[in-house]
Amino acid sequence: MGEKKKKEAETARWKKVLVVGACVLFVVLMIVSGMGSGWLTMFNSVKPGESAVIDYTIYNSAGDPIVTTDTNLYKQVVATGKGILAVKQIAISANTSLKESIYPLQVYTSQNGWDSAFALHAPEYDAISAGIVGMKVNQQKKITLPSSSSMTQLWTREELALRNLSIDDFNVGDLVTMGERQTPDGASVNATAVTYLRIGEVTRKTPAGVVVDPGYPAADVRVVSISGRN
């Protein structure tokens, strides 16, 4: 093959490469344009003031999951006979403080379906709100929640008797359902208080009664999506 024919063959090969490359690029651009700009959010991180939808599992001091959006985890715990509540995802504003004392989480119970609410305390909400700053979509993180000894309750013998219960009905490590009442801010004195669920753990038994701790030290959080500022 002469030198001229070699150059012509080389040029033809490069033309084919360029044509194929252009076709591939065109297809990629068509796919990207069809996806819109939403795919770009996977590279973004949560910034203060932005709203993020999150999955979460909250644990007690014994490391038991108390509430979770994880359906598989929920089924696994229920199968063992332990107590756990299913909750829905929430949209939380990053690095903001809750004005109310309680943030209600919608939970599922066999008695009321999704009509019940679980009490997430303001310091716990604030810790999650601050903890998600800098997280990306699908990133998971364990967030430490503030604990307070003032949350611990003593259920006296007399109080238990009013519920037809005794100290002997409880063992250390038992999970017990509690009710927390809150009157909405700005409501009248005669306004009806709202009762929220809370699950406490029996930490010890004394001659005076049963000590119950409703505090939670940690939560696993996963960012599902990020939206603009509220």
Is residue 131 a contact partner of residue 92, using CB atoms and an 8 Å limit? no
- Asked whether residue 75 carries a pLDDT value surpassing 70, the answer given is yes
Higher local confidence (pLDDT), 11 or 153: 153
Computed over its alpha carbons, how large is the radius of gyration of the chain? Answer: 28
Number of other CB atoms surrounding residue 126 within 10 Å? 17
pTM of the model: 0.75
Query: Is pLDDT of 37 > 60?
Result: no
The average pLDDT across 63-74 equals 95
For 84, the 3-state DSSP assignment is coil
The whole-angstrom separation of Cα 40 and Cα 180 is: 42
Distance CA 92, CA 106 (A): 14
Is residue 114's pLDDT more than 60? yes
Of residues 222 and 153, which shows the higher confidence score?
A: 222
Pairing of strands 102-109, 209-213: unpaired
| Structural tokens at position 174 | 């038992």
> Is pLDDT above 60 for 88?
yes
- Tell me the average pLDDT across 35-49: 68
- What lies within 8 Å, CB to CB, of 78 at 6+ separation is 84
C-alpha torsion sign, points 99, 104, 105, 106: negative
| HSE, side-chain direction, 13 A CA sphere, residue 31 | 7
Q: Give the pLDDT of residue 228.
A: 72
Residue with tokens 């998600």: 132
**Region 78-107 average pLDDT:** 93
pLDDT recorded at residue 169: 94
Distance CA 87, CA 80 (A): 19
Q: Enumerate the β-bridge partners of residue 50.
A: 229
More confident residue, 204 or 31: 204
Whether residue 90 contacts residue 117, with contact meaning beta carbons closer than 8 Å, is answered with no
Q: Report the pLDDT value the prediction gives residue 99, as an integer from 0 to 100.
A: 92
Question: pLDDT category, 28, cuts 50, 70, 90?
Answer: very low
Q: Among 115-124, 134-143, 187-196, whose mean pLDDT is lowest?
A: 187-196
pLDDT band at 17 (very low <50, low <70, confident <90, very high): low
Helix (H, G, I), strand (E, B) or coil at 173: coil
Percent of the chain with pLDDT over 90: 60
In 3D, which of 201, 219, 220, 222 has the Cα closest to residue 210? 201
Residue 214 φ/ψ, nearest 5 degrees: -95, 15
Q: What is the pLDDT confidence band of residue 184, given thresholds at 50, 70 and 90?
A: low
